[in-house]
A and B are shown apart, each in its own frame.
Chain A
Amino acid sequence: MKIAITSTGQTIDSQVDPRFGRAAYFMIFDTYSMDFSAIENRSIDAAGGAGINSAKAVIDTQAQAVLTGNCGPNAQRTLSAAGVKLYTGVTGTISEAIELFKTGKLTEAAEPNVQSHFGMGT
Chain B
Amino acid sequence: MFSRTLVWVPEMSDNFTIAVASGKGGTGKTTIAANLASYLTEAGENVRYLDCDVEEPNGHIFLKANITTVENITVDVPQVDLDKCTACGKCGEICQFGAIVCIKEHVMTFEPLCHSCGGCRRICPADAIGKKPVEIGRISVGKAGKIDFVTGKLRIGNVRTPSLIKQVKKHITDDCISIIDVPPGTSCPVVEAIRGVDFVLLVTEPTPFGLNDLKLAVGLVRQLGLPFAVIINRHGIGDERVEQYCQSEDIDIAMKLPDDRKIAEVYSSGGMIVDLLHQCKKHFAELLDYLECAKEKLNEKRRLRI
Task: Note whether A and B form a binding pair.
Answer: yes
A positions within 8 Å CB-CB of B:
43, 46-53, 55-56, 59, 74, 77-78, 81-82
Interface residues of B (CB under 8 A from A): 92, 95-99, 101, 103-104, 106, 108, 110, 113
**A59 near B103: Cβ-Cβ < 8 Å:** yes
Chain A residues with Cβ below 8 Å from B101 are 52-53, 55-56, 78
Determine which of B96, B103, B113 lies in contact with A81 in the assembled complex, contact meaning CB atoms within 8 Å: B103
Given contacts A56-B92, A81-B108, contact A49 B113 (CB under 8 A): yes
Quick check: B104 and A59 within 8 Å, CB to CB? yes
Contact B108 A48 (CB under 8 A): no
The minimal Cβ–Cβ distance linking A122 to chain B, given in whole angstroms, is 19
Name A's interface SS: helix
What are 23 A-B pairs at a CB distance below 8 A? A47-B96, A47-B97, A48-B97, A48-B98, A48-B113, A49-B96, A50-B98, A51-B98, A52-B99, A53-B101, A55-B103, A56-B98, A56-B101, A59-B103, A74-B98, A74-B113, A78-B103, A78-B108, A81-B103, A81-B106, A81-B108, A82-B103, A82-B104
Min C-beta distance of A45 to chain B, whole Å: 12
- In the bound assembly, the distance between CA atoms of A51 and B104 in angstroms comes to 17
Residues on A with beta carbons closer than 8 Å to the beta carbon of B95:
49
In the complex, A41 Cα to B7 Cα: how many Å? 62
Residue of B nearest to A84 (CB): B103
In the complex, the chain A residue whose C-beta lies closest to that of B93 is: A56
Across-interface contacts of A74 in B (CB, < 8 A): 98, 110, 113
A108 to B104 alpha-carbon distance, docked (Å): 22
CB neighbours (8 Å) of A77 from chain B are 108
Is B110 in contact with A52, judged by CB distance below 8 angstroms? yes
Please determine whether B103 and A56 come into contact, CB atoms closer than 8 angstroms: yes
Closest Cβ of chain A to B20, distance in Å, is 28
How far apart sit A10 and B212, CA to CA, in the bound complex (Å)?
Answer: 40
Task: Give chain B nearest CB distance to A49 CB in angstroms.
Answer: 2
Instruction: Collect the chain A residues with CB atoms within 8 Å of residue B98's CB.
Output: 43, 46, 48-53, 56, 74
Residue from the set A47, A50, A52, A77 with the largest chain B CB neighbour count within 10 Å: A52
* Contact residues in A for B103 (Cβ distance below 8 Å): 55-56, 59, 78, 81-82
Given contacts A49-B99, A53-B98, A53-B101, 20 further A-B contacts (CB under 8 A): A43-B98, A46-B98, A48-B97, A48-B98, A49-B97, A49-B98, A50-B98, A52-B98, A52-B99, A52-B110, A55-B103, A56-B92, A56-B101, A56-B103, A74-B110, A78-B103, A78-B108, A81-B103, A81-B104, A82-B104
Query: 4 smallest A-B Cβ distances: which pairs?
Result: A49-B98, A52-B98, A48-B97, A49-B97
C-alpha gap A88/B92 in the complex (Å):
26
Give the complex CA separation of A46 and B95 in angstroms: 12
Inter-chain CA distance A81–B110, complex, in Å, is 13
User: In the complex, A77 Cα to B110 Cα: how many Å?
Assistant: 10
Bound complex: CA A46 to CA B96 (Å): 8
- Tell me how far the C-beta of A71 lies from the nearest C-beta in chain B, rounded to whole angstroms: 14
How far apart are B96's CB and chain A's nearest CB, in angstroms?
7
Question: In the complex, what residues of B have CB within 8 A of residue A46's CB?
Answer: 98
Docked Cα-Cα span, A53 to B103, in Å, equals 10
In whole angstroms, what is the CA distance A56 to B95 when docked? 13
* Chain A residues closer than 8 Å to B97, beta-carbon distance: 47-49
Residue of B nearest to A49 (CB): B98
State in angstroms the CA–CA spacing of A59 and B104 once bound together. 8
Alpha-carbon distance A47/B113, docked complex (angstroms): 10
Q: Report chain B residues within 8 Å CB of A55.
A: 101, 103
Q: How far is the CB of B219 from chain A (nearest CB, A)?
A: 20
Q: Which residue of B lies closest to A56 (CB)?
A: B101
Chain A residue nearest in CB terms to B108? A81
Q: Residues of A contacting B106 with CB < 8 Å?
A: 81
User: B99 to chain A: which residues have CB within 8 Å?
Assistant: 49, 52
Q: Which residue of A lies closest to B106 (CB)?
A: A81
Q: In the bound complex, how far is the Cα of B97 from the Cα of A53, in angstroms?
A: 9
